[in-house]
Chains A and B, each alone.
Chain A
């Protein structure tokens, strides 16, 4: 009992100290003048003028335009403006500390969980979430993990009191972990610790197909009892949710595309896509976008070019595939603040910088289906943007001065900056 009290005390302590207070609604118009504006759609405006009111962009253009600056004027000569970066396929707010089980909420038990909804577990008070903002990551697709069908994701902005405030697109998609074409030897039983062809691949695929067929049959019978997983799954065929297929290898991706067609899935996205470059024509032809695996990773094979993960995006993008970047993997939550540098690396390995920028802004917004109101600096869209001292895709110069989410002037302070200030002061 005593322990429980201590625990409660600790938790409440965390809550009161943790997150910066969410910014209030934009109270008046704001104009930012003189910065280089990177719109996220590939365009740049030198010496720009950006104006927004009521959370929406009202003007995006050149500061040379003879137009009245409205409201508070921020002079930003020599600085850079970007649309807020978007982190898709993220578990931000679903787990606080990887090693502490009580804080892990990303992975529900069971294989087929389309009905699981990440949004209600999303912790707006997460100290990890607030640490995204100083690097420009301002939106994320909160995605459950595990199982064959992990569940349903939602897209949030990263400065909110609660998940209802946070959500910008609820239940945007269902995440399917495609069966692996490889399976690992059970080394603890003395088998070689290598990957071999997965002999159960077809069986696993059959199970999946059967599950979808059951859902379809269920729909035909109006007198069926309510079935939460099927109800959720049917949102895929009526186009309300996107099917995100997590798959890496050519055969998996090809099979997934066929599967989605057979199941009349309206919209699908490949997540991961290590070998997506092997079926570029198919992806283009079927208009299937790719959320490309963590750019900062090692090649899978010793024979692969050392920079293979760095240059994949370029290969896909120049061939006409719609690509966004995701960051799933080891220590993925805290590492999500490095999302801009993943795009930077794509620029180092072939893409021009503005195209690389779109991989974490407009392209991702399109893929998530939120591009009508965010993802780029265009009139009418959300004023979710930031001012950086320099090139935000390069860590040397990604130094943010002001952040706006839906026009709200968001704090750049975090648990970490507080400690920084506290101990800097102590030591001086």
Chain B
């Protein structure tokens, strides 16, 4: 150890003498050498695909001078013979926070929320930090560097992984033999982004993922505006953002879905992000491919769950079990689909596991050359350093690995990792592998010596035909020491053997007996046994793991194939048309090409699939005006107005509640922003096409909606005693917020229309759409006073409120609502959960309907939404609405309120075939949805569901067995985890 240190010290001195000749030297004389280091006779991987047998590599001053077959060796060279060994370019990790230290932490804020930025002279939001430079927080971490070198890495990028825009990074060579003046290869590399807020600030906004996305867009817009010199202030954050615009843009997406979402945002600003992935890219590989982005892929494959307690194990979901089974195939799938990707150690708890996981990815089918490229040429290309990194062509950094053989072979040993021309020894190169069985002769007696274990950590066992002895063995620098116990079982004494091994097949040495006598021994290697061992190991390696097929979504009840449009003829049904025809008995319905094609008696089938619907009912699909399923965010509560955010950014097509809603006959929903602020975010209006991606769920040419909210939620009445500073805290303030925003939107719109330059503001853009009657308001509302107020504000600005949602006191102002022309979407019977719903009555829908308001019944609840047919039925009970009209409350009327009644909401020839086949009367509690059809494709079928249940159980059983086997094999497992999806309501806040 001391020797190594001295060596390192010497190297360091020689280096400083060369490179930094302007630094005074007081501890000796200045020296200078211009020697070359030459590695010869190696299998030389100049690139992952350019391989030279018996190649030569010439390096000097940390760079490759020449490499290849016929390379002349300068006279002043130190030559290292690498016969039988292989040389590879070392690995590059382009996503890490290596050496970053000292980021201030603002601590958690349990008290009054912070709305304003902490920094002055920077952007208005603390989480936008493009001005941060990683170099300012960098402190070389020698021990981490060593771990990375052991894993094969030579250089890594690093950055401050904090905030939504995180600043620029750096590129550092992992050598302890130089200082930062040389090992930092680039101190200004890339611009880094994330989806989480900065720990340095407690500024509230954004509280949600969709808020982060909106903020990102606004920063881009503001930067454009700033670049044109239109801002009168100095903003160092925007300046840094602009300065880094042409650098590589790294985004910590962390999941396939976020990568897809962010890629769209990037497209809007001609920015192509490089994404740090989440390891789940294989689940949507086509879409991932279509981003045309480069990916950085972590390989922190999940451990198996410990399934030994069957009672607990029951709660592990198929989704998580599959992820364990499938995730190691992610690199393979990316590679086979030609998605360019680099591999990273990011997210690994221990760097040591990188190699194990990489080998696992290869066992799961990742091509070895692709693997090598993903660690060398691809990352080099992504960071724009292809000239000097990732290969061993002349001019490249002398960063390479000396290996005992093929790099991804199980038995290959990494000997040395050279960085910037500095050797770092990982395993002694010329160490002799002593593992074998030997015939040991000692004073005429014969023994069998078995040396096994790892090269670095040997185990020994000495046996005769009758006895066996405990033994320990050490092998260091050709010296073998063997200690074993004497035969005497009462008094334990030790016999020591020592030998300087010249020939590992046949060596002899001295024996030291307990009594001090010495003698000699001889050991001869037994060759036949070793080969058997090797064979066994190879058999094991050939075991190819079984990978379960991916469904989309990749969880229970996810379809294997996207449902296809069909031509279906329903015969003899009771048909609820919602049109003038009313309810038709014994009627046929033909759906074709995604539309309702014919309704009538005795329709001919043609080539349609015929469904006998005798005794059954057919209706238009249920439409839920107010839902919070299928989204990852509900509220952006960081500001009192968040018109800039949109649920369309965060639609979650993988929510099991989509499937459950289909089973309740629901076909379309409006995913509304929550009610955390007077002006909320924009809606996503989707069809529940389970098995399609988020983009495909959203209506084509979707009507534009936004959520507003009134009452207790927006004035934060139930948010605790610390939330008392945000304006408004009273209903009086709410009115003023609206007037202020609409007035500003009006002025903004006038400026925009005037043709003069203006700062594009996403919030005011949205509000101007309302003034221009292009976007419609659905307003969360309870109490009559404020309902009345909002209508008056709208009238003042010459537009109409489209819908009051919840509207529990709508019955008190139904006449005013009719006069204003606003619809009401209400709960059937909710009340008493807060003070403002104390006068909510279940007769609300009936009274509003009777007064002439277009009335819908909504859910705002993932459970109730699957029983909306029953909620409609309550209007028959409370207020005596006819069944035909009550049914419209959950179909045609919400379609009208959503401006979709030309497409859905009734059974009319030419409308979308969004149809439900019910087992009986659609509003009876005893009825079930049997088929739910959207655009002519069957998305829920009660018979198919039965099969799926069996398949889910079968697959879970099999995966459980595999996990138990994994544990039995000695693989690490983790304790079970049970994921209960949170029920999202209006007042739900993102938990991140």
Contact = CB atoms under 8 A, between A and B. Distances in A.
A303 B877 contact: no
A307 B863 contact: no
A9 B874 CA distance: 35
A416 B841 contact: yes
A96 B835 CA distance: 9
Given A194-B979, A297-B863, A303-B318, A344 B956 contact: no
Contacts, number: 166
B200 to A, nearest CB: 16
Given A395-B876, A423-B811, A99 B851 contact: no
B454 interface: no
Interface in A377-428: 393-399, 416-417, 419-420, 423-424, 427
Contact of A395 (B657, B839, B874): B874
Q: Which of B656, B877, B883 has the most CB of A within 10 A?
A: B877
B407 interface: no
Contacts of A171: none
A182 B978 contact: yes
A348 B926 CA distance: 4
B832 A128 contact: yes
A394 B978 contact: no
A358 to B, nearest CB: 17
B548 to A, nearest CB: 14
A99 B983 contact: no
B656 A302 contact: yes
Interface in A316-347: 330-331, 333-334, 337-338, 341, 344-345, 347
A398 B657 contact: no
Contacts of A330: 983
Given A97-B833, A128-B832, A296-B864, A420 B879 contact: yes
A69 B872 CA distance: 40
A320 B991 CA distance: 43
Interface residues of B, number: 71
Interface in B293-324: 309, 311-312, 315, 317-319
Nearest to A346: B925
A218 interface: no
B717 A348 contact: no
A393 B835 CA distance: 30
Interface stretch (B221-229, B428-436, B609-617, B842-850): B842-850
B659 interface: yes
B812 A393 contact: no
Nearest to B656: A302
A334 B949 CA distance: 34
A127 interface: yes
B928 interface: yes
B977 A393 contact: no
Given A99-B712, A424-B847, A298 B926 contact: no
Interface string A286-311: 00000000001111111101110000
A348 B833 contact: no
A98 B660 CA distance: 28
A1 interface: no
A197 interface: yes
Contacts of A297: 863
B815 interface: yes
B843 A420 contact: yes
Contact of B830 (A331, A341, A348, A427): A331
A193 interface: yes
Contact of B839 (A188, A302, A419): A419
Q: Which of B557, B663, B839, B863 has the most CB of A within 10 A?
A: B863
A187 interface: yes
A306 B834 CA distance: 30
A338 B712 CA distance: 26
Nearest to B862: A298
A420 to B, nearest CB: 4
A301 B319 CA distance: 11
A181 B977 CA distance: 12
Given A181-B312, A250-B311, A427 B835 contact: no
A16 to B, nearest CB: 16
B832 A127 contact: yes
Contacts of A417: 843
Contacts of A333: 832
A78 interface: no
Contact of B991 (A193, A196, A300, A302): A193
Nearest to A299: B660
A244 to B, nearest CB: 22
Contact of A427 (B814, B927, B956): B814
Contacts of B318: 302-303
Interface residues of A, number: 56
B458 interface: no
B833 A334 contact: yes
B876 A296 contact: no
Nearest to A427: B851
B870 A395 contact: yes
B976 A196 contact: yes
A306 B925 contact: no
B582 interface: no
A344 B873 CA distance: 13
B834 A100 contact: yes
A139 B862 CA distance: 29
A169 interface: no
A197 B660 CA distance: 27
Contact of A396 (B867, B883, B982): B883
Interface in B862-900: 862-864, 866-867, 870, 873-874, 876-877, 879, 883
B870 A341 contact: yes
A192 interface: yes
Contacts of A427: 811, 814-815, 847, 850-851
B584 to A, nearest CB: 20
B950 to A, nearest CB: 11
Contacts of B425: none
A302 B976 CA distance: 15
B573 interface: no
Given A395-B874, A427-B814, A302 B317 contact: yes
Given A98-B834, A249-B311, A399-B877, A302 B718 contact: no
B812 A305 contact: no
A8 interface: no
Contacts of A249: 311
A91 to B, nearest CB: 12
B86 to A, nearest CB: 42
Contacts of A128: 832
A73 interface: no
Q: Which of A331, A337, A338 has the most CB of B within 10 A?
A: A331
Interface in A160-207: 181-182, 187-188, 192-197
A251 interface: yes
Given A98-B832, A181-B312, A197-B976, A420 B841 contact: yes
Contacts of B949: 305
Contact of A394 (B830, B834, B924, B980): B924
Contacts of B830: 331, 334
A396 B850 contact: no
Contact of A341 (B656, B883, B925): B925
Contact of A334 (B812, B832, B862, B864): B832
B556 A302 contact: yes
Nearest to A330: B983
A397 B866 CA distance: 20
Interface in A74-115: 96-100
Given A197-B976, A338-B829, A395-B874, 6 more contacts: A298-B863, A300-B980, A303-B319, A345-B925, A395-B877, A417-B843
Would you list the 7 A-B pairs with minimal beta carbon distance, nearest first?
A: A99-B834, A344-B925, A195-B978, A420-B843, A303-B556, A416-B841, A334-B832
19 contacts: A98-B833, A99-B712, A99-B834, A181-B312, A182-B315, A193-B982, A197-B309, A301-B317, A302-B319, A303-B317, A334-B831, A344-B926, A395-B873, A396-B921, A416-B843, A419-B843, A420-B847, A423-B814, A424-B843
